[in-house]
Amino acid sequence: MESMNQNLKMTARDVSVFYGEKKAIDAVSIDVPLEDVTAFIGPSGCGKSTFLRTLNRMNDTISIARVEGRIELDGEDIYAPSMDVVQLRARVGMVFQKPNPFPKSIYENVAYGPRIHGLAATKADMDQVVEQSLRRAGLWDEVKDRLSDSGTALSGGQQQRLCIARAIAVDPEVILMDEPCSALDPIATAKIEELIHELRGRYAIVIVTHNMQQAARVSQRTAFFHLGSLVEYGETSEIFTNPRQERTKDYITGRYG
Amino acid sequence: MGTTEHTVKAFDEDIGELRGLISEMGGRAEAAIVAAMDALVKSDTRAAGRIVSEDARIDDLEAQVERLAVRIIALRAPMADDLREVVAAIKIAGVIERIGDYAKNIAKRVPLIESRRTIEPISLLPAMANTATEMVHDVLNAFAARNAQGALDVVERDKVVDDFYNSIFRTLVTFMMENPKTIGEAAHLLFVAKNLERVGDHATNVAEMVYYAATGEYLADRERGGED
């Protein structure tokens, strides 16, 4: 892997994940830069989502899952006993495949996180956090006149942007997106991709996607996973025009299997 | 490289069709150069006229390559070596079209050269033409096989064509100085030699595209003798 003259937000070194006896991830080392969008691609079952979930310890919720190796956020071991997992997940937010707004108002969906983390002292502060988060998520103009409507009444694409606003509201440093567009139509997908482009630089973004064109469109760095291993990681433009590994080439050109 | 099939078989068919079009174009351009030289040597103006009119077919093929390549990019979203091959195909088709134009240009000179038999260098031109057209032939085989080494071999041979050109140039200039009456014909032959030299350069350019398509690396800054 070529060296990167960038601010590294997260680093993983020799990370392996086991589900019981089964090894799902085998000694993956990767750097997540602050400035770039990093895409994880690979066939189903390659471990890309499993690995993504190690970055904010979502695998902790699975009792048989075990993580080895070291993952750092700003140089701090996120698996250290002293790490507050709730705090970690505020710093490393996550957006899921299917939009999952709470069955509450649009306002409450965004305000929930800042409230439990004590990020807004007054109603005015909270109003401002909600507006700023919805603006950054590119949803404000569409919902500003109906903030008390239920979040679940929005369209799929709007719901997903609401979930992004919810993640943004707690002022994270990293946003993990696990196939954020797979349930959306092409227009809603384009809006999310444009949003990712706008959020770039403010947050380190890691996106898992099955859609290689999407990885090519939104990311600056791409990692190809196969059978639990990181096969190749490099600049997106290089990966898609001149991959170094035969397995990467076979996958992205549609010759896989 | 590129030996395994795509999961989507129609993609392989499209790529095969593209290679077929390039191959047909190359075959026609190569044959046109050989035929133009033959017409020149035999002073066969009817054959020369046929070569001029058949150039339209090569132009047609170029348009077909472009349409197919655009369709492949739009419908198949090719990546990596596939993408490089499709882009190379568009560029190669443009170059072959130019080679066809050179054949046409040579054929157009056939009726204009009256006393060619009295000019000795004409005997060198067919050999030069053979070397140049073999380069075209071999580089297109290298393209179809994604063979980087084959492309490199063609690049090496451009020097032979350049040597031919320099030798013919000197001889023709000597001829013109010794016998000013030959200047008209000799000048036409000089253009023929120049056209053949350009065919060699074009084959070299194609070789660079083939090398890039096959390897993803640029054969950049490689010295090409005779480039003007």
Which domains, and CATH codes, for chain B? 9-215 (1.20.58.220)
CA B10 to chain A, closest CA, distance in angstroms equals: 12
pLDDT reading at A125 higher than 70: yes
Q: By percentage, how much of chain A surpasses pLDDT 90?
A: 88
Mean predicted confidence (pLDDT) in A213-228: 95
A209 within 8 A of A26, measured Cβ to Cβ: no
Over 60: is that where the pLDDT of B228 sits?
A: no
Rounded to a whole number, what is the distance in Å from the CA of A248 to chain B's nearest CA?
9
B3 has pLDDT over 80: no
Nearest residue on chain B to A255, judged by CA atoms? Answer: B6
Indicate the pLDDT class of residue B1, thresholds 50, 70 and 90.
very low
> For residue A216, what is the nearest residue in chain B, using CA coordinates?
B79
pLDDT digits (tens, 9 = 90+) for A75-91: 999 999 999 999 999 99
Place of tokens 């013919």: B168
B41, with CB counted inside 10 A (0-12, 13-18, 19+), is middle
ipTM of the complex: 0.73
Whether residue A252 and residue B79 make contact (CB cut-off 8 A), yes or no, is yes
Does A1 have pLDDT greater than 70? no
Residue-wise pLDDT for A7-44, tens only, equals 899 999 999 999 999 999 999 999 999 999 999 999 99
- CA A213, CA A40: separation in Å to the nearest integer? 12
pLDDT of residue A204: 96
Q: What percent of chain B has pLDDT over 70?
A: 92
**Chain A residues with CB-CB distance to B216 below 8 A:** 241-242
d(CA B106, CA B101): 9
Cβ distance A241 to B5 less than 8 Å, yes or no, reads no
pLDDT tens string B91-141: 999 999 999 999 999 999 999 886 556 676 677 899 999 999 999 999 999
Query: Beta A37-41 vs A65-73: how paired, if at all?
Result: unpaired
Q: Return mean pLDDT, chain B.
A: 90
Per residue in B75-91, pLDDT tens?
A: 988 999 999 999 999 99
Q: Where are the alpha helices (DSSP H) in chain B?
A: 9-42, 45-76, 80-109, 125-144, 148-178, 183-215
Average pLDDT, whole number, for chain A? 93
Q: What is the pLDDT of residue A257?
A: 55
Is there a contact between B80 and A241 if contact means CB atoms under 8 Å apart?
A: yes
**Average pLDDT of the residues in B2-24:** 86
What is residue A46's three-state secondary structure? coil
pLDDT confidence of residue B122 = 73
Q: Which whole number is the average pLDDT over A93-109? A: 94
Q: How many CB atoms lie within 10 A of CB A197?
A: 13
Average confidence (pLDDT) over B187-213: 95
* Sheet containing strand A221-226, strands side by side: A92-95, A174-178, A204-208, A37-41, A221-226, A229-235
Mean pLDDT of A88-107: 95
> Which residues in chain B are contacts of A250 at CB distance < 8 A?
4
Mutate to test the interface with A, among B8, B9, B11, B79 (most CBs of A within 10 A): B79
Q: Which of A236, A239, A249, A256 is best to mutate for the B interface (most B CBs within 10 A)?
A: A249
Give the residue-averaged pLDDT of B40-61: 93
What is the DSSP pairing of strand A8-19 with strand A22-33?
antiparallel
In angstroms, rounded to a whole number, what is the distance separating the alpha carbons of residues A104 and A111?
Answer: 11
Q: Write the CA distances from A140 to A144, A165, A183, integer angstroms.
A: 5, 10, 22
Task: Report CB contact under 8 Å: A253, B6.
Answer: yes
B84 neighbourhood in chain A, CB within 8 Å: 241-242
pLDDT band at B2 (very low <50, low <70, confident <90, very high): very low
CATH H superfamily, domain A8-252:
P-loop containing nucleotide triphosphate hydrolases (3.40.50.300)
**Are residues B6 and A249, on separate chains, in Cβ contact within 8 Å?**
no
Give the pLDDT of residue A4.
52
Report how far apart, in Å, the C-alpha atoms of A165 and of each of A111, A137, A227, B45, B81 are: 10, 5, 33, 77, 39
Q: In the predicted model, is pLDDT for residue B222 greater than 80?
A: no
Domain ranges of chain A: 8-252
| Local structure of A92: helix, strand or coil | strand
User: Which residues on chain B are in Cβ contact (under 8 Å) with A213?
Assistant: 77
Q: Are β-strands A229-235 and A221-226 bridged in parallel, bridged antiparallel, or unpaired?
A: antiparallel
